[in-house]
Each structure stands twice: as C-alpha cells, then as structure tokens.
Amino acid sequence: MAQKKVAGPEIERLIQLLAKLPGLGPRSARRAALHLIKKKDQLLVPLAEAMGIAVEKIGICSHCGTVDTSDPCAICSDPRRDPKVLVVVEDVADLWALERAGAINACYHVLGGTLSPLDGIGPDDLNLAALITRCEAEELEEVILAINATVEGQTTAHYVMDQLAHLNVNVTRLAHGVPVGGELDYLDEGTLAQALRARTRF
Amino acid sequence: MAQKKVAGPEIERLIQLLAKLPGLGPRSARRAALHLIKKKDQLLVPLAEAMGIAVEKIGICSHCGTVDTSDPCAICSDPRRDPKVLVVVEDVADLWALERAGAINACYHVLGGTLSPLDGIGPDDLNLAALITRCEAEELEEVILAINATVEGQTTAHYVMDQLAHLNVNVTRLAHGVPVGGELDYLDEGTLAQALRARTRF
C-alpha cells in the first residue's frame, strides 16, 4: 500500500531515497529522515558532506574491481602485498570481510557477482575477462577462489577454474567445515559431511 | 568490539555516519555504503542532493514546532485547517502518523518529547511555553492531547492539562481501547480493562 504523503516534497524525497537503502523500509526510512533532520549539525550536515565526497572521489579500481578513492586502489598499489597470490571474490563486501580477518596479505580480484543464467547474468557481465588477462600477464603462483559457498558461487568457481586450466597456476578454494565457535547441532548436513570428509589430524 | 577498518577513510567515514541512523548497525551500514557506491548515479548522487537540500531548506516551524521547508509550516499556514482545534503531539513522527490517518483537519503543536525527570527533561526542555502562549492567544475550542499512552506520555499529558486548566478550553485525549484489527487474546490487561470501561452502545 502506498503511504499517504504528509511531509513536504523535499522531506518525502529524502524518505523515498533512504527507503532504497538495504535494511531500511518505508517506516524506518521515515524515522531515519526525522532523525537526520533533528540532528542536523551532528549528522545530516556531515553525512551530506561525506556523500558529496563519495560522489566525487570514489570509483572502481580498473585493476581489481574494488571501490576506492584512488585508481589503482590502495591494495593494488601496496608494494607490501604478495603479488604472487590472487584472491578472487564475488563482491567488495567479501574483500572487506577477508581484509578484516587479516589472514592473508595478497592481491584481490572482484568479480562483481556470480553467474546466474536465470537472472541473465553470463560471463560477460562479470569482471572475468580482466581476471583471465591478469592471470596470463602476472606471474602468479596461486589463485584462491574465495567465492561464496552457494550454488551460484560454486558454479562460478567451477567456471573460473575451467578458464584458468590452461595456465600454470595453482587454483585453490576456501576450506569447508565447521565455523569457529559453531555448534554441530545447528549445522546443516552438507557442512557436517564436508567437515568429516576433510577432517585433519589433531 | 571495534571493527577493523579496511576501506579507505572516505568510505569508512560514510559507513560510520550511516551507522548512526536508527535501524542501521555497523554491519548494515557497511552494506548500505556499498550499495550507495555501487548505485552511484541512481542513489548516491540523488541522496547526496536531497540531503544538501534538506540541510539548506528544512527547519523547525516557529509556530508549531514541526519540521518543514517553510516557516510557518505548510500546516500552520493552511487556511483550510480548523483554527479552533489544536492537536498536541510528542513528536513530528506522531504528527505525520495522524496526518496519514487523515481523520482530523486541525492545527498541531509538537512538544518535542515528554517530561522525564530521570533523563533530566523538565518542562523547560519541551516546546511547552509556546503551547500555553498559543492557547492563551488563539481562540481555541478544543485541545486534543494526542500523546503516547506510555507512562512518560501520560505524565506529560497531565502536566499540560494542569497548565491549561485556567483557560476556557476543552482539553481532550485520545480514546483507549482495542486497536482496529486487534485480537483480544494478544492485548494487555490495561488496554482490555480500559476498553471494557469505555464500552459504547452497539
């Protein structure tokens, strides 16, 4: 049901746009807009500024496909990164998650999605050609496919694997198993079966 | 736990500010920021603009205390509104809710909160003096206290009632009872008791 518009057009437009953010519906967008207007100096002004700066400065890294204020991005232009290891992720959010984990000091390549024929997403819609060019041009030792363990993610991983088969590079993927802190009782059978099959010596 | 910062400072600042919106936590703020950056032209640019306009134009109506782009606001300056009926609300969100219901064509007064001695909110922190001045100056027939049915709201309503006692104006409050569409089984005893006490002829 379309909500009756009761605030002025400027406020309604702000609410409408906020409602497009993931995690905010029409009701919470209204609360957010009101919160912003009430905290004008502490929140609305700085947020408007931060967004203006984002509009102006943030772009896609032409090398790896992540978002940053410089091109090539801070990661691609960091000399301390191991240039022989390339981690392939679906999305920038996954790159950030891996960086937060801080477990690897490698370079990245962001595909920008997964193959999904039903949604009309084919290889040409992903940042795939650039990945293959990179793998051919750079002297890589290992390509880690850190792609989500979903059906689409795994299909995409297999496709990428095939595309890289002619190159002399190790292609690996993340281990499947019990999440750290996870309880067996809450895990699905697929994960448990994988964790058993890939068991390691204690 | 503070999240490790992995994106550039401009993106981190955007995430931090988005996380201050009600309904968004650090995780969803990150998702929202990424969504904004990916949908730069469709969402980030218009939202930055809408916020800029809000910063510039939206203020508090000096007459009733609501937020609008004009002062006095669109409601206060609307000649079709009944000037003899004044609806007192806690918050602009409540005013919007009543306007969406569309059940009354009156003027409003926004208190901006409720009395809450524990939080240090006394009568001087609310838009109360202006309400009393208005009630003295304007030829009102009825003041409807549409204040939340919470303990603080009802305390505030009683206080406002006392302040208006010397004036020749009917002070009313919203009816308590079963919400339309509500099931008795899910209602608290207080509401049910009120609904029984205030029962009407069928």
String of DSSP letters for B93-149: HHHHHHHHHT---EEEEE--S--BGGGTB-GGGTTHHHHHHHHHHS--SEEEE---S
- Could you tell me which chain A residue has the CA closest to the CA of B3? A100
Q: Which residue type occupies A119? A: D
Instruction: Look at residue A23 and tell me whether its pLDDT is greater than 50.
Output: yes
What's CA A151's distance to the chain center, in Å? 17
Do the Cβ atoms of B6 and A57 come within 8 Å?
Answer: no
ipTM over 0.90: no
Average pLDDT rounded to a whole number, residues A53-61: 92
Instruction: Look at residue B50 and tell me whether its pLDDT is greater than 90.
Output: yes
Do the Cβ atoms of A37 and B67 come within 8 Å?
Answer: yes
Q: Helices marked H in B58-104 — which ranges?
A: 92-101
Average pLDDT rounded to a whole number, residues B80-104: 92
Scan residues 64-103 of B and list those with Cβ closer than 8 Å to A. 67-70, 74, 91-93, 95-96, 99-100, 102
* CA A138 – CA A134 distance, rounded (Å): 6
Q: With an 8 Å Cβ cutoff, is B43 touching chain A? A: yes
Instruction: Look at residue A6 and tell me whether its pLDDT is greater than 80.
Output: no
Beta bridge partners of B173: B145
Secondary structure of residue B193 in the 3-state scheme: helix
pLDDT digits (tens, 9 = 90+) for A44-55: 999 999 999 999
pTM listed for this prediction: 0.80
Do the Cβ atoms of B48 and A46 come within 8 Å?
Answer: no
Cis peptide bond prior to A72, omega within 30° of 0 = yes
The burial class, CB within 10 Å (0-12 / 13-18 / 19+), for A197 is: exposed
pLDDT reported for residue B1: 44
Secondary structure of residue B24 in the 3-state scheme: coil
Do the Cβ atoms of B69 and A8 come within 8 Å?
Answer: yes
Share of chain B above pLDDT 90, in %: 70
Q: What is the DSSP letter of B40?
A: I
Q: Which of A134, A11, A24 is nearest to A72 (CA)?
A: A134
* CA B19 – CA B51 distance, rounded (Å): 16
Do the beta carbons of residue A114 and residue A153 sit within 8 Å? yes
Average pLDDT rounded to a whole number, residues A141-163: 93
Q: With an 8 Å Cβ cutoff, is A104 touching chain B? A: no
Largest CA distance in chain B: 66
User: B96: Cβ–Cβ under 8 A, 6 or more apart, which residues?
Assistant: A6, A7, A30
Beta bridge partners of A143: A86, A171
Instruction: Look at residue A165 and tell me whether its pLDDT is greater than 60.
Output: yes
pLDDT digits (tens, 9 = 90+) for B20-38: 999 898 899 999 999 999 9
pLDDT reported for residue A1: 45
Instruction: Look at residue A2 and tell me whether its pLDDT is greater than 70.
Output: no
- Domains annotated on chain B, with CATH: 9-46 (no CATH), 82-173 (3.40.1360.10)
Rg of the Cα atoms in chain A: 22
